[in-house]
């Protein structure tokens, strides 16, 4: 960090902070409401931010996807390396998605960044990122099957999509030609463009209120204040070295139990109050697409530490600067070109589990049982018999959240880095030629404990009047999510094919293109979560409530809770 310069008074600084948050909030809502795809307008798989001309994060919308934090920084830093400041003009909008050429995290996440000028001076970039339901490549949905980045979709380095307000139609044509549902992609790109322009207008409103010099002074002050606040939060951790290890199920290409190892160092004078997270000893890059670009590893670690140490700290560069991350280049957690990375979110969830596991002894009240540990992706594609046009339905399905010191885990939710919703059945059935035959919790999938883990979800989806192609990405299908402080593991997930006679057969954890006929149905089950504390300490009233809710069977309760040898008394709920 640089030495702090002249300071604004605290009241003005707080007003500016909230004004910047307001800009990111409004642009987030605008993008959500104007997008075409269900993945953005319904599931909200997008983020917005403001970044300064030095490539520092100034503000991130609190509803954003935590995994997008460093990706937006990656684009801005890449374009600043490619273009001189004097070659950037008002009305420009830059686009990129590539992990290797543009600091992205995977190809479906397309970044847009628009410079904001005041009095001829660049003051910031209005940025957003949206997960496009398809960006081309070997598999519909651009999420499955690849073994190198070339197979995963269109790679976009930092390019000008707009130059001084004029659309580069050739560039947009190139983007759309590589997508399977180009009209939907066009609508989502237009929504991103509109959000950039709204961000520019709102920032110019702030310039009119505070003046550009005072705003840029506030950027420095907010970053410095956040950096110092982050170091104070880190100081709560007793000095020492904390280690933990977990494994990924597989990479889809034969590698099993792929290790992620972490050593966290706190209190080393050489770090000057920062925290050091060292992933040396983790697996090398694998053939499958679960490798993680460094930017996504950074987002994962920052999220986990923020959640455990100070959830209310502003999301800006000061928080990032307080955390040192070591991940050897070419490893699973710092992918080197041309490693495949489309499924990196599953690995990112495991990174978070490992951070929590390492710090649990030092921060027992902030620790949680391992969550479902996945970003279980389901993609259906084909020709819609109602319209004759193509479709791609992409979703990541939630699961269990871990038991906590004072609360049970949450059932059937997106966890940690993935701040999206589960797509409503009505949206699926109205937008796509698919029937959701059932949707509910997986009974008994929450790990036992003083505070139980959350339950996974089950969806059964059948194509209507056509043959669809399914691909998927699953994790915690083999290795269950662990509990903490004596809590027991949660249940695992899985993909299964249900035949016309009702029999089911298991599919791989990361299935490639699989045809599903109208007389078949695809069963998706996600993992539950680990419990917190010894099951023997769970209150009888809580056990009675578990049984009455239908979420747990009597057999499960008797098997996992010694105090439940007799059926819980439902009248004591």
- The 10 Å CB-count burial string (b at 16+, else e) for 184-223 is bbebbbebbbbbbbbbbebbeebbeebebeebbbbbbbbb
Structure token pair of residue 350: 């495991």
Model confidence pLDDT, tens digit, residues 174-226 = 999 999 999 999 999 999 999 999 999 999 999 999 999 999 999 999 999 99
6 pLDDT higher than 80: no
Amino acid 7: pLDDT: 57
Place of tokens 């269990």: 400
- The 10 Å CB-count burial string (b at 16+, else e) for 257-291 is ebebbbbbbbeeeebebbbbbbbeebbebbbbbbb
Model confidence pLDDT, tens digit, residues 487-512 = 999 999 999 999 999 999 999 999 99
Please, which residues bridge with residue 278 across strands? 263, 326
Amino acid 70: pLDDT: 83
3 pLDDT higher than 60: no
Amino acid 260: pLDDT: 98
The span from the first CA to the last CA of the chain, in angstroms, equals 54
Amino acid 345: pLDDT: 94
69 pLDDT higher than 90: no
Amino acid 566: pLDDT: 58
- Is-above-0.85 flag for pTM? yes
């Amino acid at each position: 960090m640089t030495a702090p310069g002249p300071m604004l008074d605290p009241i003005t600084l707080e007003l500016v902070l909230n004004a910047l948050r307001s800009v990111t909030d409004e642009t987030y809502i605008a993008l959500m409401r104007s997008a075409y795809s269900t993945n953005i307008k319904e599931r909200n798989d997008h983020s917005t931010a403001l970044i300064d001309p030095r490539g520092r994060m100034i503000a991130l919308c609190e509803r954003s996807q935590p995994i997008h934090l460093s990706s937006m920084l990656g684009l801005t830093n890449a374009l600043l390396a490619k273009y001189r400041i004097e070659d950037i003009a008002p009305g420009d909008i830059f686009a990129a998605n590539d992990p290797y050429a543009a600091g992205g995290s995977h190809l479906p996440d397309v970044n847009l960044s628009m410079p904001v000028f005041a009095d001829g001076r660049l003051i910031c970039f209005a940025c957003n990122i949206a997960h496009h339901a398809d960006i081309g490549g070997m598999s519909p949905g651009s999420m499955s099957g690849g073994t190198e980045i070339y197979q995963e979709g269109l790679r976009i380095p930092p390019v000008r999509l707009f130059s001084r307000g004029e659309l580069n139609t050739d560039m947009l044509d190139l983007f759309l030609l590589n997508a399977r549902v180009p009209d939907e992609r066009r609508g989502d790109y237009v929504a991103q463009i509109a959000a950039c322009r709204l961000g520019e207008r709102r920032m110019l409103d702030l310039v009119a209120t505070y003046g550009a010099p005072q705003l840029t002074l506030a950027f420095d002050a907010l970053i410095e204040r956040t950096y110092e606040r982050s170091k104070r939060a880190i100081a709560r951790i007793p000095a020492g070295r904390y280690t933990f290890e977990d494994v990924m199920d597989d990479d889809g290409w034969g590698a099993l139990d792929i290790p992620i190892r972490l050593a966290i160092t706190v209190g080393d004078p050489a770090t000057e109050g920062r925290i050091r997270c060292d992933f040396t000893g983790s697996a090398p890059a694998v053939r499958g697409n679960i490798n993680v670009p460094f930017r996504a590893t950074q987002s994962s670690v920052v999220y986990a530490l923020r959640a455990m140490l100070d959830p209310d700290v502003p999301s800006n560069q000061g928080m990032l600067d307080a955390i040192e991350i070591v991940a050897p280049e070419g490893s699973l957690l710092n992918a080197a070109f041309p490693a495949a990375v489309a499924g990196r979110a599953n690995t990112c969830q495991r990174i978070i589990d490992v951070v929590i596991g390492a710090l649990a002894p030092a921060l027992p009240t902030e620790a949680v049982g391992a969550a479902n540990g996945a970003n279980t992706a389901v993609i259906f594609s084909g020709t819609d018999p109602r319209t004759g046009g193509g479709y791609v339905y992409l979703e990541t399905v939630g699961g269990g959240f871990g038991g906590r010191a004072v609360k049970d885990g949450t059932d059937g939710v997106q966890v940690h880095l993935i701040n999206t919703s589960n797509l409503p059945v009505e949206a699926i059935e109205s937008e796509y030629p698919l029937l959701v035959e059932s949707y509910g919790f997986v009974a008994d999938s929450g790990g036992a404990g003083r505070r139980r883990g959350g339950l996974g979800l089950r969806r059964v989806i059948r194509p209507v009047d056509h043959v669809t192609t399914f691909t998927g990405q699953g994790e915690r299908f083999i290795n269950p999510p662990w509990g903490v402080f004596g809590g027991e593991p949660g249940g695992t997930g899985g993909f299964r094919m249900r035949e016309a006679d009702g029999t089911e057969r298991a599919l791989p954890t990361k299935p490639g293109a699989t045809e599903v006929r109208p007389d078949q149905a695809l069963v998706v089950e996600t993992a539950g979560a680990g419990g917190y504390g010894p099951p023997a300490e769970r209150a009888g009233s809580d056990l009675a409530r578990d049984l009455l809710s239908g979420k747990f069977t009597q057999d499960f309760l008797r098997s996992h809770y010694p105090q439940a040898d007799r059926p819980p008394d439902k009248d004591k709920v």
